[in-house]
Amino acid sequence: MFGLRAAPTLAASLLLTLVAACSTTGDPRQGGLFGWNEDQAKTRQDMLRRDDESAKHQAAAESERGAALRNRQQGLSSEAGQLKIELDRLLNENTDLESRLRELMTRRQVGGAELVRLRQVLADNERLRSKTRLAALNSGTGSPTPVEARTVNDLNGRLHREVLILLQP
């Protein structure tokens, strides 16, 4: 059918196909005419074993990292809770000091420039106290930062000094 001229071309194509099919491999799912090679199979198994061990080490390292991050998060949550307690205490102290200062201003009947200055101190205190409360609520965790606690502590120091000045005879 094909004739003699097509026979060499067909034979060459068949020969190329057979040569390509003769390659050996270590993968039993692949392989050519001669199937798999035991040495290649052992090499492939070693490589797969190394990959598996590497993946297990990476998983263990990530697990340890996750545990460390959870521990750190617990520590930060605890610290945030302590800061919230401290800020609440400082804000209550601030309110008490402000009340005491207002009482002393009334009792001593402070007037003139001193009255204007003390009213400004009280206005600044109220503004910063409100800003600190709002910042603590908007922080995402509802917990204050150390800066907010220091701000209120500084305000309390200022109010305390003003009270002491008014208590002097």
Residue 26 domain flag: no
104 with 118: CB under 8 angstroms? no
pLDDT at position 28 is 60
* Residue 23 counted as domain residue: no
- Residue 59 falls within a domain, yes or no? yes
Q: Residue 124 has what pLDDT?
A: 83
Question: Which residue blocks in 109-145 are alpha helix, DSSP H?
Answer: 112-138
d(CA 12, CA 130): 91
Query: Which of 155, 135, 157 has the alpha carbon at shortest distance from 145?
Result: 135
17 in a domain, yes or no? no
Domain that holds residue 75: 38-167
Residue with tokens 């919230």: 84
Q: Would you state the pLDDT for residue 103? A: 83
- Residue 36 bridge partners (DSSP): 25
**pLDDT tens per residue, range 90-148:** 888 888 888 887 887 777 777 778 877 878 888 888 888 788 777 777 766 666 677 77
Q: Residue 89's closest CA among 151, 131, 152? A: 152
pLDDT confidence of residue 34: 60
pLDDT at 128: 82
Classify residue 109: in a domain, yes or no.
yes
- In terms of pLDDT, which residue wins out, 102 or 46? 46
Q: How far is CA 92 from CA 44, 123, 155, 160, in A?
A: 71, 17, 12, 13
Top-confidence range, 2-6, 10-14, 55-59, 119-123? 55-59
Instruction: Output the pTM of the full model.
Output: 0.53
Answer yes or no: is 135 within a domain: yes
How many distinct structural domains can be found in the chain?
A: 1
Question: 136 with 142: CB under 8 angstroms?
Answer: yes
Does 67 reside within a domain? Answer: yes
With pLDDT > 70 as the criterion, what percentage of the chain qualifies?
76
